[in-house]
Structure 1
Amino acid sequence: MKKTINSLKIPVVFLLLVSAFIACDKDYSVIESDVLGDENSDFTTGDSLWSVTAYNKKLDSLQINNLGTTSISATAGNLLGVFNDPSYGLTTASIVSQLVPSTFSPEFDENPVVDSVVLNIPYYNTVVSYDEDNNPEYRLDSLFGDNDTPIKLTIYRSNYFLRDFDPNNPENVSQKYYSNGSSTENSALNGTSVIKFDDHIDNISNPIYSNAAFKPSNLATITTVGDGDDEVATKSGPALRKLLDNDYWKSVIIDKEGDPVLSSQSNFKNYFRGLYFKAEANTNDGSMLLLNIAATAANITMYYTSGADGSRTQETYVMNFSGNILNTFVNDYSIPLYDGDKILGDNELHLKGTEGSMAVVEIFSGKVDCDGDGILDLDAIDCFKQNYRQLDDNGDYVKDPITNRYKLKKLINEAQLVLTELDNLPTGSVEDYHTYDRIYAYDIKGNSTTLDYSIDPTTNTSDPLNSKIISLGQRNDTGVFKIRLTQHLNNILFTDSIAENTPTTIGLVLSNNVNYTDNAEILDSGDTVTTVPRASILSPRGTIIYGSTQNTDPKKRLQLKIFSSEAKD
């Protein structure tokens, strides 16, 4: 026994060195024993493939309010626009949001006159260069689709009251709203009924804003204050910035001075129930943006002048987008999404954001021929343990009396869930369309990140595309992803915690921000999948990967591959 423990010290050192090396690499490297030469090594290395079953889960009735409540700066918010995914078809996203004033019970002084009313919602952007006058030039981040094709954008005052709390829950919990993407109308579910927002528009013939050919601009926002020699212009990043009707907002706000409707947040929410940003396609194409609608700079600002003649001053009244903010989705998919075969698995796995589809992967599924007699007679998980744990003379697993951890006869150097995108996926004539896909893996039972994700040191808060590249491998040039499950499997081997907090069911979704790990509830799931990562709801993109069935090309089939080290006899 002592000889075995000593002989395992060398591979442990190598594992630490390999981990440090991998942290600087975007793909996995496995150091085989021939680095030292087989004759100079007291251990052997090898790899093995283990059974998995992967199947599709169609996603619907997903929680869609407060999707952007996160401190992560990179890409969290709400989707607005039209996106035609080349593999799946058309999705239209609209927004319903409450407004909340920054001050209550305002006094507008005498003879107030509205000078202008400005809607401002920042776009996520990056400065890519500077012109000859040192002015920044911007790229719109989180812009999906064809920005050369305009969409129709209309903003209405909504008459639907978005509740803060669920009246049907005795514990006074927050009200949740859920998607209804199979509908042909902008609608949502509140747990008991369907809300059709087109039925709750105030003065539908006179919207707050309308543009039949809207295209988001990447130009800087220029704000001018003052007149003549006192004029001062400031520049900020691109935004949805529009002038609104002065008379309308005077009647809605200034003419209500002294009215209780302006005296508190709850009164105002009941009075001015919100805005409905309705996106519509002009053709079977368009663009979609992730709006930073919960940002401090996202607001409606009313500029007004008041006071006696000769002493008039300009003031502002600001209304922020806060409280409940929700997305609606209308899907017109070109391929059917479905719940897959939980027993046999599926040939193709559909990963589609918004209200789309995800994959469920059962690792160590079914029975296997563990002793090589040609009979499938042992559960794969038990075969896995027998292969890696030490056994005593009675065939029982050996535990360390001090640590109470199982002793191993093999060490896992690396465990990878290997995924391959479908050949010849449509790209919509965009050469690098799938280059930026990221696949996020999570623990379905615990509704949490995997252990490997939690210890991955490569977090990049400003660039999610290059974040968590050890645990969530990036797509390579041939469309292969490698999801690292090394610590996940080690935890099973050492502690037998599979029955508690290390389950064998992994969820896969497409994400444009792997840093954003919050989950959204699924209404009345009736399934082991009860939540879905919010980041997948905020990504309209989709991809397709090969499944786990025997009908799939073995070279492209979804696989669990384990690289291990074992001491020589």
Structure 2
Amino acid sequence: MNFSRFLRFLGVVSLVTLVSCDKDFTNVGIDLVGEDHYGLDQTYFDVMAYNQNTGAVQANDMAINSLGYYNNPVFGKTKASIVTQLELAANNPIFYANDITIDSVYMHVPYFATLTDVDETSGDPIYRLDSILPAHQVGTALPKIKLSVYESGYAIQDFDPSSGLQQPQYYYSDQLAEFEGNLANGGQRINTDNTNIDTPATTDFSQNDQFVFRDDEVKILRPSGTVKERLAPGMYLNLNKTFFENKIINAPSGVLLNNNTFRNYFRGLLFKAEAAAGFENQGAMARLNFSRGTITILYKDFSSSTGTEKVRKKMVLNFGPRTINFFETDYVNPISTPDVVNGDQRLYLKGGQGSMAVLNLFNPTDNIGFDANGNQVNTPNGISDELDRLRNPADGKKWLVNEANLVFHIDKDQMQLPSDINGKKAPEPNRILLYDLNNNRPLVDYSADLSTSSSVKNNKFIHGGIISKDSDGRGEFYKIRLTRHIQNLIYNDSTNVRLGLVVTENINNVNRAFLRTPFSFANRINKYIPAMAVVNPLGTILYGGHPNVPENKRIRLQVYYTKPD
């Protein structure tokens, strides 16, 4: 890498913030380890890869939740709804007056946002939202969704009763109907305020039927119209005061004593997202950390049991500890019957309730084996002949593998054919993840890579998987380095495991999520998927390893090696 390129690299890194959510990051790590392999020989090996639908996935207690309705130009429409428990910020609140009335109830869930500037006229901060689909374009109307907030009557369990309370209770992305069938409060919405947040005298529906993910700070006004409080950009809703007066202020004795009794009494809120009228072909979706959400109740009460004059008080409810994300999607993988022998020509990776790919390195032909003395025998041994010959070269001199990569070329034609109503092409995932599917764990190259970035989601950039973009700003390929994995296959006779390929939201999180319906491969049953593949709602289309795919686009294992003297 020359010095000028290195300076450009540092400039890009310095602009990426720690709070960005799946932010574009072009060519990081692609050139950091030299691409000039002087003096090294190069060869390629076959890779068989096919599609696998995930179906419904475990979606409780995720680090990041998706909320909204979004029409992806390539992967179709998805509705993402959320249910969350609530907790008292302070146990056993005491109310003194018998005639307490609530002044206001508001909810705030901050977005992932970056402060970019300050308005010269008003002095207001200017933010960029990093987690909203589609990305907002200056001069275009913000797309809208219909958002409904209900009291949930569904008791979320910590442990599975069918296991005798010995196993955790898991919830899945397709269980929305069960929760909707158990709404409390007569199934009435509690986000019914139709006054404009900034100008209360104006009527609008931006808190419910025409909800907008706004990028400006939230200003809470006094009756005089002056600003009382400023909040970072986030989902802000005025909630029904009568509901909270009945539910909280007039709660039965003992239910506010602690959070165990409170969660059983007030079982949570359901946030349901749908298409807004006029935005059926667009919509918007946010990724956010619901655990940072709060509900603030402002009311007037005596300061003590002997008080005679009411003062303003505040009570806070925190979101959590348990959340569940629900997905309703019309996405259908066009590969309904994957070719598990030759592989598929295209691989469709889609997060959430979507799809992944299964990979097998090396040509599967198995006609030979080797005895204990290293002599070839014409008897299959369950190991690819290509791999066998690397382990047992005819001249007895094994190659020194200096570097091994998988390059996944993006089918740009399919990813760019459709566009949304603003002419924007389908958003692309910033990163994909390759992992040991047999054992549902990271590859050794993942664990060995200690490289870090100013954006933590771009850590382990030598191992890679970060999108590389062409001059048109669209993705061209993803590259994953798996040198140590290949070295272990050749030198340590490690098992040539099947590999899983998914989109990921955060490379640092290695948690896994259950599949509601496990799938089988190579006489094995797989029950899991990386949890960060559930979190990321995006998708991409890659060329596969099928012989009909042009060689310059086909997935192949790229190996740079040195021949011993």
TM-score by length of 1: 0.79
Deviations along 1:174-193, one digit per CA (max 9) or x if unpaired, are 2101122xxxxxx35xxxxx
Check conservation: 2:132, 2:285, Cα contact below 8 A.
yes
Counterpart residue identity of residue 384, structure 1? L
Counterpart residue identity of residue 103, structure 2? D
Aligned counterpart, 2:179: 197
Q: CA deviation at 1:198?
A: 2.4
Matches within 5 A, 1:181-260: 187-188=175-176, 195-204=177-186, 206-210=188-192, 211-223=208-220, 233-256=228-251, 259-260=253-254
Aligned counterpart, 1:398: none
Counterpart residue identity of residue 409, structure 1? K
Counterpart residue identity of residue 513, structure 1? N
CA distance in 1, matches of 2:454, 2:247: 41
Is 1:125 the counterpart of 2:110? The answer is: no
Is 1:80 the counterpart of 2:72? The answer is: no
Q: CA deviation at 1:326?
A: 0.3
Aligned counterpart, 1:158: 152
Deviations along 1:294-325, one digit per CA (max 9) or x if unpaired, are 12xx1112122211665433322221111321
Is 1:477 the counterpart of 2:459? The answer is: no
CA distance in 1, matches of 2:534, 2:335: 16
Aligned counterpart, 2:451: 458
Counterpart residue identity of residue 104, structure 1? N
Deviations along 1:419-471, one digit per CA (max 9) or x if unpaired, are 1111313442656755653111111122222211222233336352x333211
Aligned counterpart, 1:321: 319
Q: CA deviation at 1:102?
A: 2.1
Aligned counterpart, 1:29: 34
Is 1:441 the counterpart of 2:434? The answer is: yes
SS at match of 1:99: strand
The alignment covers a number of residue pairs equal to 491
Counterpart residue identity of residue 109, structure 1? Y
Is 1:285 the counterpart of 2:282? The answer is: yes
Is 1:114 the counterpart of 2:102? The answer is: yes
CA distance in 2, matches of 1:390, 1:426: 42
CA distance in 2, matches of 1:453, 1:521: 22
Counterpart residue identity of residue 416, structure 1? N
CA distance in 2, matches of 1:461, 1:250: 46
**RMSD after superposition:** 3.0
CA distance in 1, matches of 2:443, 2:105: 48
Check conservation: 1:415, 1:484, Cα contact below 8 A.
yes
Q: CA deviation at 1:337?
A: 5.5
SS at match of 1:250: helix
Note the residue ranges of structure 1 that are not aligned, 5 or more in a row: 1-21, 35-44, 69-76, 181-186, 189-194, 396-407
Is 1:101 the counterpart of 2:106? The answer is: no
Closer, same or farther: CA 472–24 of 1 in aligned 2, 3 Å: closer
Aligned counterpart, 1:555: 552
Matches within 5 A, 1:421-440: 421-427=410-416, 428=419, 433-434=426-427, 437-440=430-433
Closer, same or farther: CA 376–26 of 1 in aligned 2, 3 Å: farther
Check conservation: 1:65, 1:325, Cα contact below 8 A.
yes
Aligned counterpart, 2:405: 416
CA distance in 1, matches of 2:489, 2:188: 62
Check conservation: 2:85, 2:323, Cα contact below 8 A.
yes
Check conservation: 1:52, 1:560, Cα contact below 8 A.
yes
Note the residue ranges of structure 2 that are not aligned, 5 or more in a row: 1-26, 137-141, 193-207, 370-377, 471-475
Check conservation: 2:150, 2:271, Cα contact below 8 A.
yes
Aligned counterpart, 1:53: 48
Counterpart residue identity of residue 484, structure 1? R
Matches within 5 A, 1:39-50: 45-50=40-45
Closer, same or farther: CA 287–379 of 1 in aligned 2, 3 Å: same
Deviations along 1:8-35, one digit per CA (max 9) or x if unpaired, are xxxxxxxxxxxxxx9965466344445x
CA distance in 1, matches of 2:37, 2:187: 72
Check conservation: 1:452, 1:484, Cα contact below 8 A.
yes
Q: Pick from 132, 136, 140 the counterpart of residue 143 of structure 1.
A: 132
CA distance in 1, matches of 2:501, 2:321: 31
CA distance in 2, matches of 1:367, 1:378: 11
Closer, same or farther: CA 382–369 of 1 in aligned 2, 3 Å: closer
Aligned counterpart, 1:386: 389
Counterpart residue identity of residue 124, structure 2? N
Counterpart residue identity of residue 390, structure 2? N
CA distance in 1, matches of 2:246, 2:55: 41
Aligned counterpart, 1:348: 346
CA distance in 2, matches of 1:206, 1:127: 37
CA distance in 2, matches of 1:472, 1:204: 51
Aligned counterpart, 2:487: 490
Check conservation: 1:364, 1:380, Cα contact below 8 A.
no
Is 1:468 the counterpart of 2:460? The answer is: yes
SS at match of 1:452: helix
Is 1:531 the counterpart of 2:504? The answer is: no
Matches within 5 A, 1:169-184: 169-170=163-164, 172-180=166-174
Q: CA deviation at 1:156?
A: 0.7
Aligned counterpart, 1:192: none
Closer, same or farther: CA 470–134 of 1 in aligned 2, 3 Å: farther
CA distance in 1, matches of 2:389, 2:35: 23
CA distance in 2, matches of 1:89, 1:351: 13
Check conservation: 2:73, 2:426, Cα contact below 8 A.
no
CA distance in 1, matches of 2:262, 2:170: 21
Once structures 1 and 2 are overlaid, which stretch shifts more, 479-488 or 25-34?
25-34
Closer, same or farther: CA 475–105 of 1 in aligned 2, 3 Å: closer
CA distance in 1, matches of 2:263, 2:342: 51
Aligned counterpart, 1:401: none
Taking only the aligned residue pairs, the percentage that are identical comes to 31
SS at match of 1:164: coil
Check conservation: 2:434, 2:500, Cα contact below 8 A.
yes
Closer, same or farther: CA 220–270 of 1 in aligned 2, 3 Å: same
CA distance in 1, matches of 2:294, 2:429: 32
CA distance in 2, matches of 1:91, 1:363: 33
Deviations along 1:342-379, one digit per CA (max 9) or x if unpaired, are 222111111011101000111124116999xxx99786
Check conservation: 1:26, 1:469, Cα contact below 8 A.
no
SS at match of 1:489: helix
Deviations along 1:73-108, one digit per CA (max 9) or x if unpaired, are xxxx21100111111110110011111212333211
Q: Pick from 37, 55, 58 the counterpart of residue 63 of structure 1.
A: 58
Closer, same or farther: CA 382–23 of 1 in aligned 2, 3 Å: farther
CA distance in 1, matches of 2:29, 2:411: 28
